[in-house]
Chains A and B, each alone.
Chain A
Amino acid sequence: MKEIKTDITVIGGGPAGLAAAVEAKKQGAGKVLIIERDFELGGVLQQCIHDGFGLHRFGRRMSGSEYAQIFIDEVNELGIDVVTDTMVLEVTPEKELYACNSTDGMMHISSGAIILAMGCRERTAGQILLLGGRPSGVMTAGSVQRYINMEGYLPGKKAVILGSGDIGLIMARRMTLEGIEVEGVYEVMPNPGGLTRNIVQCLEDFDIPLHLSTTVAHVHGNSVLEGVTVAKIDENRKVLHETERFIPCDLLVLAVGLIPENELSKGAGIALDPKTKGPVVDQNFMTSVPGIFAAGNVSAVFDLVDYVSMSGEIAARGAVRYVNGTLPSGEGKDVKIAGNVNFVIPQKVIDDPEGGNMFFMRVKHPDGRSKISAAGGEIAGKSVHQRVAPPEMLACEVRGIQDAELEISVGAVG
């Protein structure tokens, strides 16, 4: 077994992990290692060939792979160690880690600090209890994206999309451009699940209808998809059978939500937040296990990659301070939430004036002009938003937090 020692080990070479590794090195960390399970760095960004990435951070629109490449170049320039095609099998609470690949075999890695950046996975047909048959031709939007953009294959000729999350919307456009007929997008909720700009650019611009409060009630086909029955649902999500309609199709694309990947976190005994399904973190994105940090979609599902990178950098600064012994320790206090706030990360604040000060939140329900307020600190920069909705994450910087007491609220303003 190969013994390796690092100052900081980053698990995952997607946007969060890349930003974290680069920032850690810039902050003076010694040996930084990125472990990536795919054959190249970049994570899911490599299959995101549409534009819109990096608007906040770089002030211009790029494709996902272009965005990733900026960080990959930095990783190379800074001499950060990378192992690809490598799977982390286990992380212990003592920050010991086991990983393996075909060239190095089994590796036992001891780290000063670990940054978890495994990202998230898609919800599946099984998880949403999709009824009917289980034929080929039913797949998640991310899989369709991978097959089309990375592998160069089309998984169908006529598609129905269930779920209006961003990947589903992006794929509605992408499939249309590739000659797949997209019959429509069906959303269980009364509101769209994706960003407004994607509804406009990916559906409206291509005349793809969006059917709200509608679901796929039955999948037809034993081994080959023959079609789906769609139906309206009532407020208790019960199918209204009189509204059922059969649509012949050979592809059902599921864009029904993302779940942070936290199997390694659970193994390490890290406390998880039932709402975000990610680790509970403090303002430095450190988890309940000292020295293990979480960044990006592993901590909560973000909407914009810019925020994912930012969270990676905050975690990296915390990790470097942890390794140097300059990070204050402490249990921390819960960040209180009020008004229209559904959840906020970080969920905890420790008494650390030099620590991170970015807070990310999602609202419970759509609302008009709203203001973010912080009791126990002051909001720097933009606090008023013209409209708020659950799919769009709100971010704010909070300065001058006293004694780790903080309450964040969002409320409508006239």
Chain B
Amino acid sequence: MELNERVVSAIKEQFPSLDIRCEHDFRDIVTLAGECETWRQLIDVGHAAAHVEGVRNVVSHMTVKGLVIPKKDYSETIRKGKEIGVIAKTDVLIVGLGITGCGIARELAKYNLKIMAIDMRDDVGAGASKANNGGVHMAGLVKPGTLKAKLSVRGNFLYDKWAQELNFTFIRPGHLNYITSIDHLPSIVKIFETAVRNHDRDVSMLDGPQTLKIAPGIKEIMGDDPVASVLTPTQGKVHPYEVCVALAENAVDNGVEILLSCELGDVITENGQIKGVITEKGIIETKYLINAAGLYADEVSVMAGDECFTLHNRKGTIAIYDKSKPPATVQLAMRERPELKKDVESKGGGTDQTPSGNILMGPSATEVPDKEDIDTTEQDLAYTLNRNDNPTITPADVIRIYAGARPADLKEDYVIGMSELTHGLINAAAIQSPGIGSAPGVAEMVEGILLEDLEKNGTPAKRRDDWNPIREKKVKFAELSREEQAALIEKNPAYGHVICRCETITEGEILDAIHSPIVPTSIDAIKRRTRAGMGRCQGGFCQPRVLEILARELGKEWVEINLKGRDSTVLKQKNR
């Protein structure tokens, strides 16, 4: 049977009432059309097609009855860009500066190439990356044989080097999944086997007493009696936004040129070759376009003449708890709750802890039609709060709730490679969970693809002699001893002026952030770099001070300072 027919019959079997049409191209990428009842059903139909043997990926042209699927209008961006005309010529243009784009920019900076990178937001890592839970994933949760599995295992391995060179916070607290009923044994055996198949050499199975020896809090605090567990020491944690900033700063230090608040409107191609892009800041001519545009990567690929996947926003809601709670012993342990794992594609998170010590619950996983939808809802929040098993923490300890968007394709695997239709287009797309942990692996793979193509075209890239892999360590006042703090203030009094009292962040640290290779211009950008405003009062006390410093240092008026993104000024006008 033809691939088309097999896909149609697979869909018919699961969704007999639907009339879905299917086409496929020479790459076995199938395109679906037809009307579904709900958005969730559209995603399910896409997944059903992706599961058919031989299907490489799925493009959706499907619609939903009574639903207008929001679509971005690029016409104004194109108009602006054309009006300005050509502003730059480059060898490589990276579109999107989330963790994927930042990682690629940093790694490619090693070579004697002119590299530019753009992002539509006002800061790096300000899209999906900033809302990620920061897990550098263990190997036990990713499907063996997928690109996701390969790159997350590789990424996890490479993280120590990244952290060492780029001086961001990286910890490996490990992870312990335990069960309290032997009936649940299959769920942890599956994690163990998956980890082994993904070449994790450190994973081990423990019995009840061994489990309690490592994590006595399971009994003391959670009141659980573990019968067995799987211990994965490689599970790590980072602050995702800190990693993005560190990578991007190092890239800029090595000559990469970054343009922020620069939306892409269209891609210029000629005879199947990338020629340039039209952005709101003008036209940039380029030989290579690396598409790391997060949730919009499918649209960028279409603009470049290669429609080969469709992305959907799988929204995740996270709750952050006050640092004072609870004791750390339980934090690496999570009880397996097989009853919550009904939906295998929509993997959600559980109890976690950030490297700063805040408990983090979630994320949830909900399919939504709008790529810009990062609203928290009653239902998602209930899911997230319900992941808590620890009786010593309650919703009253929550200091912040937020949601982020996972850029998932219908195959539920990463899409990385040189386009077969448009030479010069390298997709680094559909990087969803565990995208933070995979980032070094993704960057390495993209680096390899680019080098190979340059080689093939007779213009091999040369390594620069002056490449500096090191990004200097930033001062983190709160983490220093009193003596170190005293010495620091003596050297620079700005470190004696505490601005954010919840997190003990000083004016010196805020000034360091402002006078850095990528200038943060909003209150939230300062928050992501310094943690000022991330504590329990959520900027109640420090926001006016941060705003004042930003305005002073950037030479702006107070009413020009944004909270986050365009036009989001905190203050609207002077009143006297």
- Listed in ascending order, the chain A residues whose CB lies under 8 Å from chain B are 1, 37, 85, 87, 89-90, 98, 100-106, 108, 121-122, 124-127, 129-137, 139-140, 142-143, 146-148, 150-157, 178-179, 218-219, 222-224, 239, 250, 263, 266
Q: Do A124 and B563 form a contact, CB below 8 Å, given A1-B486, A102-B493? A: no
Instruction: Decide if B485 is an interface residue (CB 8 Å cutoff).
Output: yes
Selecting from B29-37, B111-119, B174-182, B568-576, the interface stretch reads B568-576
Q: Give chain A residues whose Cβ lies under 8 Å from the Cβ of B493.
A: 102-103, 105
Query: CA–CA, A271 to B120, complex, Å?
Result: 50
Closest 9 interchain pairs by CB? A136-B563, A106-B486, A87-B498, A223-B565, A126-B400, A102-B493, A136-B568, A153-B571, A223-B568
Given the complex, which residues of A lie within 8 Å of B489, measured CB to CB? 100, 102, 105-106
User: CA A379 – CA B494 in complex, angstroms?
Assistant: 53
Q: How far is the CB of A225 from chain B (nearest CB, A)?
A: 9
With known contacts A131-B381, A143-B540, A222-B372, A102–B497 Cβ distance under 8 A: yes
Q: Indicate whether B53 reaches chain A with its CB closer than 8 angstroms.
A: no
Does B566 have its Cβ within 8 Å of any Cβ on chain A?
yes
A selection of 6 A-B contacts at a CB cut-off of 8 Å is A101-B497, A102-B497, A103-B496, A143-B543, A152-B576, A224-B565
- CB A240 to nearest CB in B, in angstroms, measures 13
On chain B, the residues within 8 Å of A154 by CB distance are 571-575
Is B540 in contact with A140, judged by CB distance below 8 angstroms?
Answer: yes
Query: Could you give, for residues 486-510 of chain B, a 1 whenever the CB lies within 8 Å of some chain A CB and a 0 otherwise?
Result: 1001100110111001101001000
A223 and B563 contact, Cβ closer than 8 Å, known pairs A102-B496, A106-B485: yes
Chain B, 168-193, CB within 8 A of any chain A CB: none
Task: Indicate if B483 sits at the interface (CB-CB under 8 A).
Answer: yes
The answer to whether B378 has its CB under 8 Å from any CB of chain A is: yes
Extra A-B contacts (20), CB below 8 Å, given A102-B494, A122-B540: A101-B496, A106-B482, A106-B485, A106-B486, A121-B536, A125-B538, A129-B401, A130-B401, A132-B376, A135-B563, A136-B563, A139-B570, A148-B575, A152-B574, A153-B571, A153-B575, A154-B572, A178-B575, A219-B375, A224-B565
Nearest-neighbour CB distance to chain A for B509, whole angstroms, equals 13
A121 to B399, CA, bound (A): 13
With A101-B497, A102-B496 in contact, is A263–B324 under 8 Å at CB?
yes
Which residue on chain B has the smallest CB distance to residue A132?
A: B375
- With contacts A102-B493, A127-B399 taken as known, whether A223 is within 8 angstroms of B537 at the C-beta atoms is no
For A218, list chain B residues within 8 Å (CB): 375
A278, chain B: closest CB distance, angstroms: 15
Most buried by A among B501, B502, B544, B569: B501
Contact in complex: A239, B378 (CB < 8 Å)? yes
For A100, A132, A151, which residue has the most chain B Cβ atoms within 10 angstroms? A100
B395 interfacial by beta-carbon distance below 8 Å: yes
Complex: how many Å from CA A172 to CA B566? 28
A131 and B497 within 8 A (CB) = no
Chain A residue contacts of B25, Cβ below 8 A = none
Contact A106 B496 (CB under 8 A): yes
> B402 — which chain A residues lie within 8 A by C-beta?
134
Report Cα–Cα, A179/B498, bound state, in Å: 34
Give B535's nearest chain A residue, CB to CB: A263
Contacts of B374 in A (CB 8 A): 133, 222
* Residue among B501, B537, B571, B575 making CB contact with A124, cutoff 8 Å: B537
| Cβ A121 vs Cβ B537 within 8 A | yes
Task: Give the distance to chain B from A229, nearest Cβ to Cβ, in Å.
Answer: 11
**B544 contacts A155, C-beta separation under 8 Å:** no
Cα(A130)–Cα(B317), bound, Å: 13
Evaluate whether A105 and B572 lie within 8 angstroms (CB atoms) in the complex, with A132-B375, A147-B544, A222-B374 already known. Answer: no
- Given A135-B568, A146-B544, are A126 and B575 also a contact pair (CB < 8 Å)? no
Q: Is the CB of A126 within 8 A of B378?
A: no
Whether the Cβ atoms of A89 and B504 lie closer than 8 Å is yes
Q: Is A126's CB under 8 angstroms from B501's CB?
A: no
Assess the B400–A100 pair: CB atoms within 8 A: no
CB of A156 within 8 A of CB of B497, answer no
Query: Are B490 and A105 in contact (CB-based, < 8 A)?
Result: yes
- Closest residue of chain B to A100 (Cβ to Cβ) is B496
Partner among B486, B541, B571 whose Cβ is within 8 Å of the Cβ of A105 = B486
Chain B residues with CB under 8 Å of A250's CB are: 572
Q: Given contacts A100-B489, A135-B563, A148-B575, is CB(A127)–CB(B570) below 8 Å?
A: no
A403 to chain B, nearest CB (A): 36
Residues of B within 8 A of A108 (CB): 482
Give the complex CA separation of A127 and B559 in angstroms.
27
Count contacts on B: residues with CB < 8 A to the other chain: 55
Question: What's the least CB distance linking A119 to chain B, in Å?
Answer: 10
Bound complex: CA A239 to CA B377 (Å): 12
Chain A nearest CB from B127 CB (Å) reads 11
- Chain B 396-414 per-residue mask, 1 if CB under 8 angstroms from chain A, else 0: 1011111000000000000
Instruction: Provide the bound-state CA to CA distance between A139 and B493, in Å.
Output: 31
The minimal Cβ–Cβ distance linking A165 to chain B, given in whole angstroms, is 14
Question: In the bound complex, how far is the Cα of B572 from the Cα of A139, in angstroms?
Answer: 13
Q: Least Cβ distance of A205 to chain B in Å?
A: 21
Chain A CB within 8 A of B567 CB: yes
B132 interface hit (Cβ, 8 Å):
no
**B528-571 interface code vs A (CB 8 A; 1 in, 0 out):** 00000000111011011000000000000011001111111111
Tell me how far the C-beta of A180 lies from the nearest C-beta in chain B, rounded to whole angstroms. 9
Contact residues in B for A130 (Cβ distance below 8 Å): 401
B316 CB to nearest chain A CB (Å): 14
Chain B residues within an 8 Å CB radius of A147: 544, 570-571
**Knowing A100-B489, A100-B498, A102-B489 touch, does A133 contact B375 (C-beta < 8 A)?**
yes
In the complex, whether B320 has a CB less than 8 A from a CB of chain A is yes
Distance from A39 Cβ to chain B, minimum over Cβ atoms (Å): 10
Q: Which residue from chain A places its CB closest to the CB of B493 in the assembled complex?
A: A102
A121 is contacted by which of B541, B562, B565 (Cβ under 8 Å)?
Answer: B541
- Beyond A87-B501, A126-B398, whether A151 also contacts B496 by CB under 8 A is no
Q: Which residues of B contact A156 (CB under 8 A)?
A: 572
A137 to B372, CA, bound (A): 19
Contacts of B496 in A (CB 8 A): 100-106
| B:419-461 near A, CB below 8 Å | none
Contact A153 to B574, CB < 8 A, known contacts A124-B399, A218-B375: yes
| Minimum distance in angstroms from A101 CB to a CB of chain B | 5
Nearest B residue to A262 via CB reads B324
Tell me the complex Cα distance, A250–B571, Å.
Answer: 11
Report yes or no: A151 in contact with B544, Cβ–Cβ below 8 A. Answer: yes
Chain B: CB-nearest residue to A156: B572
- CB neighbours of B543 from chain A (8 A): 139, 143
0/1 per residue, B242-277, Cβ < 8 Å to A?
000000000000000000000000000000000000
Nearest Cβ in chain A — how far from B354, in angstroms?
Answer: 15
Q: Which residues of B contact A132 (CB under 8 A)?
A: 375-376
CB of B382, distance to nearest CB on chain A (Å)? 10
Beta-carbon contact of B375 and A126 below 8 Å: no
Task: Enumerate chain A residues within 8 angstroms of B574, measured Cβ to Cβ.
Answer: 152-154
CB B440 to nearest CB in A, in angstroms, measures: 30
Q: Which residues of A contact B375 (CB under 8 A)?
A: 131-133, 218-219
* Cα separation A122 to B541 with both chains bound (whole Å): 9
CB-based contact A224/B567 at 8 Å: yes
Min CB gap B547→A, angstroms: 9
**For the complex, what is the distance from the CA of A101 to the CA of B558, rounded to whole Å?**
25
Q: How far is the CA of A1 from the CA of B401 in the complex (A)?
A: 40
Given A102-B494, A102-B497, residue A131 in contact with residue B378 (CB < 8 A): yes
Give chain B nearest CB distance to A52 CB in angstroms: 22
Q: Are A136 and B570 in contact (CB under 8 A)?
A: yes
CA–CA, A127 to B564, complex, Å? 20
Closest-by-CB residue of B relative to A2 is: B486
Instruction: Name the A residues within 8 Å of B569 (CB-CB).
Output: 136
